[in-house]
Structure 1
């Protein structure tokens, strides 16, 4: 990666809960979970689910790898990957989706799963962005002005009322996400 002209500021994040490699790729900040495998050469088509490679991974490595393994297994279970892969390929991160889902669950805590899915798409297809999505915990927090932070889809971190999820959502990806939310709404109404 170091030899690629698009990559700059590459370094390891040592104080994270998982092994992270942080770098800029063509001006976009990337946090990439990494795992140290006990192999001499990493083949391009390496099957990370092969038990031979998984047996010697330490606890930190498992934490890093668990996200990849979960996503891989989910992808194998989902019959139509189009909407899912759009979300997994850099548009919204896991924490964004977790907060958006928790927000919908908080609004309608007693409805069934299919109603929650429908409500999720309806809520965010017509959400007044850039108004931030905030989980309610009964306390008043000073709200940042999302227009000052230049965030297209601000999602406030529930454990830190002064911070939003750091995302690389651009104007074009914002419109793509909105289109997919509208499509999801039309499919589930």
Structure 2
């Protein structure tokens, strides 16, 4: 379980991100009291895994990585790769998304990037490794979706849902100390590999750009809980997904580097209730690379100028994480952020409790018209009989 932690002030850099801090004030006793109250409220929503669940998740991840390494050696032998290359081929799996950020909730998926050597073909991952996974007795509900924007294998391993993406390095081995934040990683490789790499690159960069990772994690857990309770946690439905919320919280951490968790949450609502969209949210000025990869730049790309709520990833090639936001969903997001700000003001005045922030919205009372989307799977053979 992640808890709020006071940073070491003497060692703290003065600037994170694009600007200097708004405030470097240290927490006062009232801020620490509010943080304890916030943590107690969050625990009541059962968002944290217990130790047994956490250890089970870690075991599954280690077993998966071991299986991937074994498969790489097996396929090298099948390809008659020289023994000296096979022995050093390595292979590594990098978690990304909420699991890597350290903010996953009970029963959450694991997003993971499998990295292999450049002499392999991508197809092998979705055929040969897929077959090896399917043969494991612990694996259920496995499916390969090669035609997706980011091709993925989805599966359940001992009850944990896992989404695996795959990328190839432009080298013959995958060392344990591989630094995926080096931009040369995405030079001259398949665009599908670039997209796969960026899931990890973005989440790792976020962690490196906040002054206090533990406070960031607790604040992000609070914002994620609020967004889910208010039915605005969904990229597919035109709201914001996990990466967008993480970037927004990280930006608040950058400008309030010494703040405790409750202050970060309060400032989140204050700052973004005043934000003038479409001014973009950025954590860093991303290095410009001449790798001929598409990246978000409204000065160059006319379509990027139409984005209503740009929240930009901090890794090359930078992308807008909120392209699905429409005028109607932006209005709802703004309404909910203003509601959050009003409640936080009352919390500061001791007129409200944190539980009021997390009250679940009554969807059917709030909206007069609701569109229901039903998906059906039909077995043609059974249907014909």
Q: Answer yes or no: is 1:55 the counterpart of 2:203.
A: no
Find the counterpart in structure 1 of residue 202 from structure 2.
none
Offset, 1:140 = 8.9
Find the counterpart in structure 1 of residue 321 from structure 2.
165
- After superposition, the C-alpha distances for 1:167-186 in whole angstroms (9 at most, x for unaligned) are 31111000000001101111
Q: Answer yes or no: is 1:36 the counterpart of 2:184.
A: no
The TM-score normalised by the length of structure 1 is: 0.56
Q: Unmatched 5+ residue regions in structure 1?
A: 1-13, 24-29, 38-53, 65-73
Higher relative contact order (CA 8 A, sep 6+): 2
Aligned equivalents of 2:226, 2:312: Cα separation in 1 = 32
Determine helix, strand or coil for the equivalent of 2:328: helix
The TM-score normalised by the length of structure 2 is: 0.30
Q: CA RMSD in A?
A: 4.0
Contact preservation (8 Å) 2:244, 2:322: no
Aligned equivalents of 1:177, 1:32: Cα separation in 2 = 30
Contact preservation (8 Å) 1:22, 1:32: yes
Offset, 1:35 = 2.5
Contact preservation (8 Å) 2:278, 2:310: yes
Q: Answer yes or no: is 1:144 the counterpart of 2:291.
A: no
Q: Answer yes or no: is 1:82 the counterpart of 2:241.
A: no
Aligned equivalents of 1:36, 1:134: Cα separation in 2 = 34
Determine helix, strand or coil for the equivalent of 1:86: coil
Aligned equivalents of 2:259, 2:283: Cα separation in 1 = 18
| Paired residue total | 137
Aligned equivalents of 2:227, 2:310: Cα separation in 1 = 28
Offset, 1:164 = 1.8
Find the counterpart in structure 2 of residue 69 from structure 1.
none
Larger-gyration structure (1/2): 2
- After superposition, the C-alpha distances for 1:58-82 in whole angstroms (9 at most, x for unaligned) are xxx6246xxxxxxxxx8xxx69953
- After superposition, the C-alpha distances for 1:81-103 in whole angstroms (9 at most, x for unaligned) are 532x3224731011100100100
Aligned equivalents of 1:82, 1:186: Cα separation in 2 = 17
Aligned equivalents of 2:281, 2:344: Cα separation in 1 = 22
- After superposition, the C-alpha distances for 1:17-50 in whole angstroms (9 at most, x for unaligned) are xx66877xxxxxx98977335xxxxxxxxxxxxx
Q: Unmatched 5+ residue regions in structure 2?
A: 1-122, 126-143, 165-220, 290-295, 346-385
Q: Equivalent residues in 2 for 1:172-183 (5 A)?
A: 172-183=328-339
Find the counterpart in structure 1 of residue 310 from structure 2.
154
Determine helix, strand or coil for the equivalent of 1:36: strand
Once the two structures are overlaid, the 10-residue window that deviates more, 115-124 or 146-155, is 146-155
Contact preservation (8 Å) 1:92, 1:167: no
Contact preservation (8 Å) 1:87, 1:93: yes
Find the counterpart in structure 2 of residue 106 from structure 1.
254
Offset, 1:134 = 0.7
Aligned equivalents of 1:93, 1:182: Cα separation in 2 = 19
